[in-house]
Amino acid sequence: MNAPLSDEAIREQIFAIVARQSGVDPAALRPEATLKDLGVASLDAIELIFDLEEHFDITFPDDRADFDTDTMQQLVDAVHSALAARPDGTEAAA
C-alpha cells in the first residue's frame, strides 16, 4: 500500500470489496446506494468496515455507530479522509 493510489483506483477497490460482501455486481453499484439497500446491515456492515480498514491500512474514527446508512459515496469519502489522516501509518494506533 506504499504507492499512492489514484482516486479512481481507490473507488474501484472499494466497489469491489462492497460487491464481494453484498453479492451485488460491481457494475450495478450506485454511489447513492446505502449499505442497507445492498443488504449489508448490522455485523455485515462492521465486517465490511474491517475489510476496508485492512485493505487500505487505515483506521476509521470510532465516533459513528450506523454504518448501515452510509452510501457508497460516503464510504469513498470516509476512506479518503482516513487515508489523509495517515501520513505514515502512526494514526492507526491512535
Give contact residues for other proteins (rule: CB under 8 A).
Answer: 41-43, 46, 49-50, 62-63, 65-67, 93
CA gap 90, 54 in Å, rounded: 15
CA gap 93, 38 in Å, rounded: 31
In the complex, least distance from residue 49 CB atom to other proteins, rounded to whole angstroms: 7
| Residue 8 or 62 with smaller CB distance to other proteins | 62
In the complex, least distance from residue 43 CB atom to other proteins, rounded to whole angstroms: 5
Is 49 within 8 Å of 67 (Cβ atoms)? yes
| Residue 3 or 43 with smaller CB distance to other proteins | 43
Task: Count the neighbouring beta carbons within 10 Å of the beta carbon of residue 8.
Answer: 8
In the complex, least distance from residue 46 CB atom to other proteins, rounded to whole angstroms: 5
